[in-house]
Amino acid sequence: MAPPSFDLRSDTVTRPTAAMRAAMAAAPTGDDAWGDDALVASLEARVAALLGKPAGLWLPTGTLANQLALSLQSRRHTTVACNPGAHLQVHEDASAAALAGVQVMPLGSRWGYDAQMLEALLDEERCGWPELAVVWLENTLGEGGGVLWPLHDDAARPGVSSLRTLGQLAHAHGKAVHLDGARLWNAHVATGTPMSSFGAVADTVAVCLSKGLGAPAGSVLCGERELLVRARRLKHAYGGAMRQAPAMLAAAGHHALDHHVARLADDHRRAARLAAAIADLPHWEVVPPQTNLVLARVRPPLRFAEWLCAPLRAAGVLCFPNIAREVRLAVHLDLDDAAIDEVVARIRTTLGDDPERFVPRAGAAGTGLTS
């Protein structure tokens, strides 16, 4: 019998706990498309209150939440400013253009951008550039390895202004602000900052229940009530109304909020322990994580992260590149201390101390990213 695998591809791979499954099975169900499911409505109100917003809307995916926020706060032939590694930019299949008719304008780096960069983009509107409609923020930064985008200026990094400063600048110019908070729970736990303080910087905020919180599906988009009324109609137009299923998923969301928020600190602690335990391997440079994502950038002679990910997957450590030259290891609810110990052991045994042996021979097939 093959040894068990440990799935570190993403924190989206978590499975409902037995207690969460029981809550789902016991959930009374209405019809979400009619808007009369009490459990969904209570979850929407609960998350909105946590974020300091008047209203919320349960949605099956974070991508749909982001796309609704963009469509509601922009017009076709306008632009949205975001950092180059934003989920909107690289993981939503060019939906901003296809659905909202909006052009993405990347600023800064995958760790964010600063006020001067945003101001410069705003200045170009006077020179005939397309109008900027939405300023896009993200916390934590997924492609940046779960890095925190600081809320206050005293924690800002070179080239990155605080969320508060950027939100204020955008609003001063009459621009809408959206915060993609898929892992905002991680930022909340890592910093002790109330969710409402993050919510205050943006007009709309989307938070995910199916990553670190471990629900099988669901995100909540929060904002002003009138905007969310329009969002509910657009949800139906985009095919997001799911009849009875959201009631059971809302039960999972309530359970996650009751039991799985504070425990995110365990994921952060285990990610730090994992990073420290593999940092000395010569194959890569490991970045100390701020939250639950561990990034390891391959070193020469290695060119592609997939050259390491493939043998690790074969050894039962399931992982994929974050970008072409980085391995990503996501720590989550399904990985306890014993699992992290075993993951470390398998990584060290599989990779050994000779990176050269993972470099494909000249002329061999499969030498690219997806080999």
**Tens-digit pLDDT string for the chain (371 aa):** 667 899 999 999 999 999 999 999 999 988 888 878 899 999 999 999 999 999 999 999 999 999 999 999 999 999 999 999 999 999 988 999 999 999 999 999 999 999 999 999 999 998 999 999 999 999 999 999 999 999 998 877 889 999 999 999 999 999 999 999 999 999 999 999 999 999 999 999 999 999 999 999 999 999 999 999 999 999 989 888 888 788 899 999 999 999 999 999 999 999 999 999 999 999 999 999 999 999 999 999 999 999 999 999 999 999 999 999 999 999 999 999 999 999 999 999 999 999 999 999 865 544 443 32
320 phi-psi bin (left φ>0, alpha ψ -120 to 50, beta other):
beta
Q: Same structural domain for residues 121 and 225?
A: yes
Residue 121 · residue 105 · CB < 8 Å: yes
Q: Same structural domain for residues 308 and 339?
A: yes
Q: Same structural domain for residues 304 and 319?
A: yes
Q: Same structural domain for residues 232 and 291?
A: no
pTM for the model stands at 0.94
How many structural domains does the chain have? Answer: 2
Q: Same structural domain for residues 136 and 201?
A: yes
Residue type, 1: M
User: Tell me, what CATH number does 323's domain have?
Assistant: 3.90.1150.10
Q: Same structural domain for residues 250 and 327?
A: no
Q: Confirm whether 234 is domain-assigned.
A: yes
Q: Same structural domain for residues 253 and 297?
A: no
Q: Same structural domain for residues 242 and 105?
A: yes
Q: Same structural domain for residues 70 and 40?
A: yes
- Strand order across the 204-208 sheet: 55-59, 219-223, 204-208, 176-181, 132-138, 79-82, 103-106
Q: Confirm whether 247 is domain-assigned.
A: yes
Q: Same structural domain for residues 63 and 165?
A: yes
Domain range enclosing 312 = 263-351
Give the closest residue to 185 by CA, choosing from 264, 259, 254, 267. 264
Q: Same structural domain for residues 306 and 180?
A: no
Q: Same structural domain for residues 119 and 101?
A: yes
User: Tell me, what CATH number does 37's domain have?
Assistant: 3.40.640.10
Q: Confirm whether 81 is domain-assigned.
A: yes
